[in-house]
Structures are given as structure tokens and as C-alpha cells.
Amino acid sequence: MIKLIIFDFDGTLGDTRANIITTMQETMRVLGYPVAGEEAITATIGITLEDGFRELFPGLTERDILRCADVYRVLFERNRKKMVPKLFPNVKETLNLLKERGYILSVASSRQSVSLRGFLHDMSVEDCISYVLGADSVEKAKPDPEPVLKTMRELGIPPEESLVVGDMPVDIIMGRRAGTSTVGVTYGNSFREALAEAGADKIIDDISELLELV
């Protein structure tokens, strides 16, 4: 019986793909690096910002990686005022219904906590979320199970009563390594085949389908 649902944010609750791609490419231009294409950038969504730059530019030093991340965060905050991200369809309604039914809802994201909490506030869903965990709150980010293990420990819920919901294979792998059930969503930044290959227990096309699964 599921009591705790742990959501990814980018690509699962919030549609931030355009913001991420635009800001990544702008960061590369500002720093004079080759500009990566949309597909390559999308493949890094779900891991930490620093790891994303490491994958895109494996030859950079750690100092350069940190500089990339710093420039990105400044540009992202500026861009979000011009390109305001929105919740995916049916997210707010589904979160409200799940909370009404007594489920504990949390978010575990590779995004920094300040940015994450800002989005949840701006999108008017923060009242639905009992616990928020950003990449800066753990030593090891996705696909390591630490974000899920820490969430369950803080909320006192065991793996067999927990469910991880995400749009990327790293979300599914993280949940499986932590011993939880997993649900992949197809409307985000990945594909059904990749989510299935990662071992998702269920795959849904609309977040409202969760109401029939838990």
C-alpha cells in the first residue's frame, strides 16, 4: 500500500525544457564553447547541472565546470522571467486529489533547492508538497538512491510504501536502487522505450493516471 509519492520536478511536474535548453545554449555562447544541440542537452536533464556540463564538455576542468554552472544559474533566473515555466496538464488537480486522499507528496530533484522551492511557489503547488529535496541536500545525486533514501528516512516511510514518479531513466533507476515502486511519465524529456529499459513498473502518458494506480 503506497503512502509516499516522490516526484521528480523538471519534466514530471514542471515543463522547463525550453528554459533549460535556451539557458544551456546561452551559457555556451557567453563562455565561448561550442553550442550543443537540443537532443544532447535534453539527454542531460535529470542529472545535476554540473554533471550535465561534464557530459557535454568532458575536457573541461572542474573550475570551468563550476563557472559554467554559475553562469547558467544567473542566466536561468533572468530567462525564467521572460519564459515562465508552467505545470504540465492535470498536475495541480492530481496533486490536490492525492493530498486529499491522504498521500504524502514530496519532490526529489537535481535542481538546487532555492530554485526548486521558487518554482513550486510560483506554480501554486507548494502546499501539496510535504518535503522538498534538491541536489544541494545530498552528497550523491540521481541515479544514486540517496535522494529517495533520505526522503523516506526523513518522513518515516519504508520503501515498500513509497513510489517514485519521474520522466527520465535516472529517476527510475534511483527509485529501483532505493527499493521503491516506480512510475515513468512519457510527456516529459524521455521516451517510453527508455523508461521501460530502465525498469519502470508502470508507464503513464498523463499524470492523472496515477489516481488509478495508487
What is the residue-level pLDDT of the chain in tens, covering all 214 positions? 999 999 999 999 999 999 999 999 999 999 999 999 999 999 999 899 999 999 999 999 999 999 999 999 999 988 888 888 899 999 999 999 999 999 999 999 999 999 899 999 999 999 999 999 999 999 999 999 999 999 999 999 999 999 999 999 999 999 999 999 999 999 999 999 999 999 999 999 999 999 999 9
8 is catalytic: yes
pTM, to two decimals: 0.91
Catalytic residue among 8, 51, 167, 171: 8
- How crowded is the C-beta side of 173, counted as CA atoms within 13 Å? 12
Q: How far is CA 182 from CA 51, 75, 127, 189, in A?
A: 23, 33, 24, 17
Among the residues of 10-129, which ranges form H helices? 17-31, 38-42, 49-56, 62-82, 91-100, 113-122
Catalytic residue among 10, 15, 167, 171: 10
15 is catalytic: no
